[in-house]
Amino acid sequence: MESIAAEFGLDWQKLWAHPQNAGLREQRQDPNVLMPGDSVFVPERELRLTDCATDQLHRFERDSTLSKLVVFLKEFDQPRPDEPYTLTVNGTIMTGATDSNGKLEARIPSQARRGRLLVGKPEVQEEYILELGHIDPIHEASGIEGRLRNLGFESLGEFQKKQHLEATGEPDETTLTRLQGEYGC
């Protein structure tokens, strides 16, 4: 929803909460996870009028069109703290280090679709291409597969075993809740 709202110059929360998107909210529940073919009602932008003195200079700022990207770096299920990184999104280069939990947090353009993440010291850097905005809902087979792949699991049964669940390979509600929690959405 953030990228759609940004494209039309709207606030994503107002767009998501619009009464004509009630069916979509009921179907998807997560505004960050939509499917191709989902229908989003986009209202006309409302003009905002402000009274101002004509003999003075005024400054107006548009709400940010940035989204928050959060990535957790782990190795063998352990956080990678203080790991240097270089993140490139839409030509903007951001550098830093992960926090004590292996978390990298950055503000990126809402409409960004790809990013490049270099992790580690220059002589031993790992490269990751980030596909932004490309995860399907948790109740779709493609959404389950995408989350498992991004978390480094080859099967749902492997994930269930790691989570100390019965390794049936079936996407029951407990498994999906755990998978969604582990993935973050």
Q: How confident is the model at residue 38 (pLDDT cuts 50, 70, 90)?
A: very high
Chain segment 60-86, per-residue pLDDT in tens: 776 667 888 999 999 888 999 999 999
- Amino acid identity for residue 94 in this structure: M
Lowest mean pLDDT among 66-70, 93-97, 157-161, 166-170: 66-70
Rounded Cα–Cα distance for residues 88 and 16 (Å)? 29
What does the alpha-carbon distance between residue 62 and residue 115 come to, in Å, rounded to a whole number? 25
Please say whether the beta carbons of 182 and 162 come within 8 A.
no
- Ordered by start, the domain boundaries in the chain are 1-49, 66-131, 141-183
pLDDT value at residue 3: 85
Bridge partners of 45, per DSSP, are none
**66-131: which CATH topology?**
Immunoglobulin-like (2.60.40)
Q: Are 149 and 155 in contact (CB under 8 A)?
A: no
Higher pLDDT, 172 or 51: 172
The DSSP-derived string for 8-49 is: HT--HHHHHH-GGGHHHHHHH--TT---TT-----PPPPP--
Q: Once rounded to an integer, what is the mean pLDDT over residues 162-179?
A: 95
pLDDT the model gives residue 41:
95
Mean pLDDT value across the chain: 91
